[in-house]
Amino acid sequence: MNYIALNGWIYCGFGGEKKPREFIDWASEQGLDGVELTVGDCLSAETSEQEAKELAAYAKGKGVGLRTLSAGFGWGKWLTSGDPAERAEAVAFAKKYLQLAKWLGVETVLMVPGATRVAWDASHAEVSYLDAWNNATASIRELVPVAESLGVNFALENVWNRFLISPMEWKHFLDQFGSKRIGIYFDVGNCCLNGRPEDFPEILGDRIKAVHLKNFEESDSAGGLHGFGDDLFKGMVDFKRLFAAFAKIGYEGPYTVEMIPFSRLPDLVMPDADLAVKVAGQIRELKALACTC
């Protein structure tokens, strides 16, 4: 393993309190391999081609990689939605997002695929599983030629959205597109509620375009959002076993640590500079551990 990055929310906040170059500077000082900029927060979706290319050159000059982008846009506008206008907004964002990635030299963008129901947002209309499957399929078919023409991976994240839960579901869903550019952005911690993260690589193989690393505590048998804590090594994820599973399939894509300590709710405040420094140190431990697998 030669690339572990840090997601931007921990350092830049949910409202872009820190700017991309500040994050890049800090990551360089910490000796990190790369950063995952968050679009709609620290990085605007309206960033121009010139601005993007200048930012990419800046990161390269600092020795900081930009291999993935993340965005929370899909929590508000669903590719699975029963509202055609909402799906059109999600698709329009995704096209802009993919183009921005191309300008930045990014390999993979993360997109939340939508949901059937979101527990913390009762205002959004629910969608049946079958309708979610069909709506997301139709939406993503519009994006296949865009992702292929730009040479950027469009990777859907496994999230707590009551949709696409097991690795077998993911396999069947992704294979219908017949495109190497459509895949999963596999979040290790998110799958712990319903399964074991080390089971996903064997089944999904090269459909995994990027990986989010975090941990999850199974308190009270399964646990809720509070299971996502502020210590990367505290929880059910066995990183040594996980890295061995990735090595078995020859995975060489990026790993990015995403730490959002929901254990602190209702007092979760981001950015958290101290936690960012702590996690940067744990990333160095992860790299050492990976070398022994």
pLDDT tens digits, 149-205: 999 999 999 999 999 999 999 999 999 999 999 999 999 999 998 889 999 999 999
* Contact yes or no for 209/253 (Cβ under 8 A): yes
271 band by pLDDT with thresholds 50, 70 and 90: very high
221 band by pLDDT with thresholds 50, 70 and 90: low
CA atoms within 13 A on the CB side of 38: 26
2 band by pLDDT with thresholds 50, 70 and 90: confident
Average pLDDT over residues 208-232: 86
Q: Residue type at 18?
A: K
Dihedral sign from CA coordinates of 160, 238, 196, 67 = positive
Peptide bond into 261 cis (omega under 30): no
- Determine the Cα–Cα distance for residues 251 and 256; give it in Å rounded to an integer: 14
**pTM over the 0.75 mark:** yes
Using one digit for the tens of pLDDT, what is the confidence trace for 91-129?
999 999 999 999 999 999 999 999 999 988 888 999 999
Average pLDDT over residues 246-257: 96
Per-residue pLDDT at 139 exceeds 80: yes
CA angle centred on 246, ends 242 and 247, rounded to 5°: 115
* Contact yes or no for 81/114 (Cβ under 8 A): yes
- pLDDT at site 260: 92
Min mean pLDDT across 221-225, 268-272, 287-291 is at 221-225
- Determine the Cα–Cα distance for residues 226 and 46; give it in Å rounded to an integer: 34
Average pLDDT over residues 251-263: 94
- pLDDT at site 120: 83
Measured CA to CA in angstroms, residue 168 lies from 104, 171, 172, 237, 250 at distances of: 33, 5, 6, 20, 20
Q: Which of 1, 5, 152 has its CA nearest to residue 64?
A: 5
Domains of the chain and any CATH numbers: 4-290 (3.20.20.150)
- pLDDT at site 292: 66
Per-residue pLDDT at 244 exceeds 80: yes
Q: Residue type at 91?
A: V
Min mean pLDDT across 13-17, 221-225, 232-236, 248-252 is at 221-225
Measured CA to CA in angstroms, residue 53 lies from 48, 143, 215 at distances of: 9, 23, 34
- pLDDT at site 293: 60
> Per the structure block, which two tokens stand in for 66?
């930009």
Residue keyed to tokens 């139709």: 138
CB contact burial 230-248 (16+ within 10 A = b; e otherwise): bebeebebebeebbebbee
Per-residue pLDDT at 240 exceeds 90: yes
Min mean pLDDT across 225-234, 242-251, 269-278 is at 225-234
Spatial neighbors of 288 by CB under 8 A, at least 6 apart, are none
Using one digit for the tens of pLDDT, what is the confidence trace for 20-79?
999 999 999 999 999 999 999 999 999 999 999 999 999 999 999 999 999 999 999 999
